[in-house]
Amino acid sequence: MSTLPLLPDSSWSKVLCIVAHPDDMEYGASAAVSMWTRRGMEVSYVLLTAGEAGMAAPPEETAPARLKEQQAACASVGVSDLSILGYPDGMLEPSLGLRKDIARTIRQHKPDAVLTANYEVEAYGGLNQADHRVAGLAVADAVCDAANPWVFRKLVEEEGLAAWTTKALLVAGHDSPTHAVEIDEVGVKAAVASLQAHASYLEHVTGHPKPEDFIPEILRGGGEAAGVQAAETFRVFDMGGLEGK
């Protein structure tokens, strides 16, 4: 297997991470976020749902608890800009409304890159969760929508949001990665802490391995693929300027 190239992200100043649930960023992607924020890059998180259907407790209790845990997870990797679009957890539908909401947020943030999570039918060693499949594909489509002034014209006409071309789309947790972000010792620890922040959620999941037991291992595996000590890998799509074009 050939060595994965490092992501050409040195000129980037902003990454927008859009995923379905609280904790979706915390299975490796947050390690890359830690590297970026310590370099001075601005990173924002947008969650499509509050993850309110993910625990045994009623959604009214779960949503605020998971928000707190996500805020702590964000803080451990230097992220303070967190928003939740409020779609119903577990019932995310592929719709133009969802794409428009994501395109809006991309045009508002004007990121160099958009990061989302794996949207394949099979992922993470099994059948991928329904919201994950919808979220990732909607994000991929919305990156294109955000760049096209003739799609969702009301975003321009009524909200004054001009078209925005994102340089690259990054898909975390993909079985066929194309690029890697090297992670240092601090980044590995921050990634572990970011998943540990979801304490009540992890307690709820029967048999969930301890973050400190498997996150460093995932990052070491990525490092092996990239020829470095530790790395987070991504499947990267050039959307209009990955190599500074």
Please state whether beta strands 231-238 and 42-49 pair in parallel, antiparallel, or not at all (unpaired): unpaired
Q: What gap in Å lies between CA 48 and CA 13, rounded to an integer?
A: 23
Q: Least Å distance between CB 223 and Zn ion? A: 25
Q: Which is nearer to Zn ion, 57 or 156 (CB)?
A: 57
Q: Least Å distance between CB 104 and Zn ion? A: 22
Q: What gap in Å lies between CA 123 and CA 210, rounded to an integer?
A: 20
Q: What gap in Å lies between CA 228 and CA 38, rounded to an integer?
A: 19
Q: Which is nearer to Zn ion, 4 or 50 (CB)?
A: 50
Q: Which is nearer to Zn ion, 220 or 235 (CB)?
A: 235
Spell 189-203 as b/e; 16+ CB within 10 A means b. Answer: bbbbbbbbbbeebbe
If one asks whether residue 52 binds Zn ion (CB under 5 A), the answer comes out as no
- The gap between the terminal CA atoms of the chain, to the nearest Å, is 28
If one asks whether residue 24 binds Zn ion (CB under 5 A), the answer comes out as yes
Q: What gap in Å lies between CA 186 and CA 5, rounded to an integer?
A: 22
Q: Least Å distance between CB 151 and Zn ion? A: 27
Please state whether beta strands 113-117 and 168-172 pair in parallel, antiparallel, or not at all (unpaired): parallel
Chain residue whose CB lies nearest Zn ion? 21
The two counts, helices (H) then strands (E), for the chain are: 8, 9
- Using the contact rule CB under 5 A, the part of the chain among 9-17, 24-32, 184-192, 202-210 near Zn ion is 24-32
* H helices present in 24-177, as ranges: 29-38, 59-76, 96-109, 130-147, 153-157
- Using the contact rule CB under 5 A, the part of the chain among 17-25, 70-78, 120-128, 201-209 near Zn ion is 17-25
Q: Least Å distance between CB 42 and Zn ion? A: 24
Q: Least Å distance between CB 20 and Zn ion? A: 5
Q: Least Å distance between CB 29 and Zn ion? A: 12
If one asks whether residue 26 binds Zn ion (CB under 5 A), the answer comes out as no
Q: Which is nearer to Zn ion, 24 or 69 (CB)?
A: 24
If one asks whether residue 109 binds Zn ion (CB under 5 A), the answer comes out as no
Annotate each residue in 118-157 with x if it binds Zn ion (CB under 5 A) or - if it does not, as one string. ----------------------------------------
Q: Does residue 161 sit in helix, strand or coil?
A: coil
If one asks whether residue 21 binds Zn ion (CB under 5 A), the answer comes out as yes
- Tell me how crowded residue 105 is: count the other CB atoms within 10 A of its CB: 22
Q: Least Å distance between CB 119 and Zn ion? A: 11
Give the count of residues interacting with Zn ion (CB under 5 A).
Answer: 2
- Binding region for Zn ion (CB under 5 A): 21, 24
